[in-house]
Structure 1
């Protein structure tokens, strides 16, 4: 079966950029364009609205995206089920995590998995950890490393692999003093995540103190927070594991601030229905 048209469609649906999508599919932009056009001709509808400046999914394209993801999941499941009789699993799994998690949590898991299932290819993608669960829920990634949210989606299975305290950090130079009073906190520049679990916990922390923080910057990624704090631009909040693995760890210091924030429960997450895939089940059982 030729599943490449569906893969081409999903790549363009994710990137909304012919250049990036064609590079991800290892084909030329013109080949990708022809593939999408042929798919649209077969369906009798336009899947994308495109002009010289932008590419966007049509309402039909949004519906077809769900079908395409389900079709590839079902194909992978039946292919692996039929292949299981040979007692050798083959195929690929996509895994998403932050750069820090890739070498602090994932390295040993992947090493053991690769040793046991050498014919399964791992596609590792790195990025903002706050996007991890959304990427798994949408089906764009098979497995991801994430901090467990306060409310875990019912369709997600979560396997804890470690705890990491959530800590306040300041520049090691001491040029920004640790806030003592509520007035100090309202004047101290803060460098915080744009969104995610850590940001929600910090927001609740300030609300409990009835303080409106002075936000100097909102960034994506904890590594960026460490970098900006090391430059003396403000106080930040990051998981300690990020700080422990940062090349700038000697340029920042953990501040003794109470009450402490709840630690991150770090683990792997997967859609419950994807555990029907022998490949993903094999990965999950290795944990």
Structure 2
């Protein structure tokens, strides 16, 4: 049993999906299967129950998961401690953010981080921003670019890096320039399936006594821009998403004065915020 095998096992234990883990960990599905088979042979027990539809941890698998997480955490901390004594940080830090954040905020952050800590390995995963908090809580990542909400979990630390306003977008062909000209009784609205944008927009509708006609609920703010650009309806998106969209020229941006935005920042478990690698990343946000 080696650290690489443990990392693959722990990741698979979180996703319970061989394809997702193979893709995220940069191995083939057959290699991942062989690693798990070898671990089961070493442990002399089944670690997963597998069929054509699902993958589940066995009781023994859950015991190995607890051991693996503790072992990998201690190994990472030891690497960081040994590096600190040499004034050089080494090790691996797992990050998660949306596709937009990887273009808008992450480059500057990582550029500075790499200047100060060139020997730290960054493992980046992108996806739906609404999943950022859950990724940190489930320890699928060490740190994430996330949105601070009213129900932000108390066990998480948050270091703000930017304020993100929300804007209303309409298809360019609609020739709608102000919010006052919108007929909410007939205009169809596209909302995100989940996340802070949906919560803020729904609260705004209630405050305005508007009962919108919902055309679709979609995953991700980028999809809203695409659907609005195609003329499917109107929608609300974070301005930073629109600024980095190739379809920005196909929509009209309308400022909504009484629509609040949100704080974007780095999120991590409070229990891990003093880990040298995470502390170094958070320090950049504070600066």
> TM-score, normalization: structure 2?
0.88
Structure 2 partner of 1:94 = 94
Structure 1 CA distance for aligned equivalents of residues 160 and 3 of structure 2: 34
Structure 2 CA distance for aligned equivalents of residues 120 and 61 of structure 1: 30
Question: Which residues of 2 match residues 110-259 of structure 1 at below 5 A?
Answer: 110-174=110-174, 184-257=183-256
For structure 1, which runs of at least 5 residues remain unmatched after alignment?
none
Structure 1 partner of 2:80 = 80
Structure 2 CA distance for aligned equivalents of residues 93 and 104 of structure 1: 20
CA deviation digits over 1:50-92, x for unaligned, max 9?
Answer: 1234323346545654553343222211221133212211111
Correspondent of 2:262 among 261, 264, 268 = 264
Could you tell me how far 1:9 is from its partner in structure 2? 1.0
Structure 1 partner of 2:271 = 273
Structure 2 partner of 1:57 = 57
> TM-score, normalization: structure 1?
0.88
Structure 1 CA distance for aligned equivalents of residues 253 and 271 of structure 2: 41
Question: RMSD over aligned Cα, in angstroms?
Answer: 2.6
Decide whether aligned partners of structure 1 residues 92 and 256 sit closer, same or farther in structure 2, where only a CA change above 3 A counts.
Answer: closer
CA deviation digits over 1:136-159, x for unaligned, max 9?
Answer: 111111111112111221111111
Structure 1 CA distance for aligned equivalents of residues 255 and 30 of structure 2: 57
SS in structure 2 opposite 1:75?
helix
* Mean CA deviation greater in 189-198 or 240-249: 240-249
Structure 1 CA distance for aligned equivalents of residues 163 and 131 of structure 2: 19
CA deviation digits over 1:221-260, x for unaligned, max 9?
Answer: 11111111011111111011111121111111123545x2
* Mean CA deviation greater in 136-145 or 20-29: 20-29
SS in structure 2 opposite 1:254?
strand
* Mean CA deviation greater in 210-219 or 120-129: 210-219
